[in-house]
Amino acid sequence: MNQILFLFLILVLAIGLPLFFKMSNSLQMFEGFSNYTLDNAFGNFPESQTNVLVQDTYPPIGKNQISDETSYDMWWRYPVFKVGSYDQITNNIRFPNNPDIGRCTPASVCGALYHDKFLASNYIEPLPPLNPTCPGTRVGYFKINEQLIDSLPYRTNISNILY
């Protein structure tokens, strides 16, 4: 008799506890993301229909149509450089001329929204060697201002802090 009562108790707990926790969670009415419809989408109506996203940085073309490019045609926009360049050139372009640089989805959006604009050069020039006998304390490559060192609550006799 005790075994049947024990099995019945385990069965009630196995079925009842998940139902109890599911009901208690549904009573809280907590939703992490509630913007399932476009009715709640934020944006100023006339401007969001006519303006493009980064038109402050890149000049828009102004046509409300897509381009004729396909994924077969847009690959040339993606920057690819040879590996191991001493010129410090990588595929990580800091200042792209156009925000759609060969990774548009869908491909017909590439070249359809923005004109090219030269923002700045992507070439990185390495810093010149630092004079090891420069006055002041160095932290890595850079020299700390003398007035900053005098205002610190501690003093050090080490001229190079290389960490």
Per the CB < 8 A criterion, the answer to whether 67 and 44 are in contact is no
139: part of which helix (H) or strand (E)?
strand 138-139
- Hey, which residues does 139 pair with through a beta bridge? 142, 161
Which pTM does this prediction carry?
0.48
Show the CA angle centred on residue 55, arms to residues 115 and 45, nearest 5°: 130
pLDDT digits (tens, 9 = 90+) for 90-145: 777 888 888 887 788 888 888 888 888 888 887 777 777 777 676 666 666 666 66
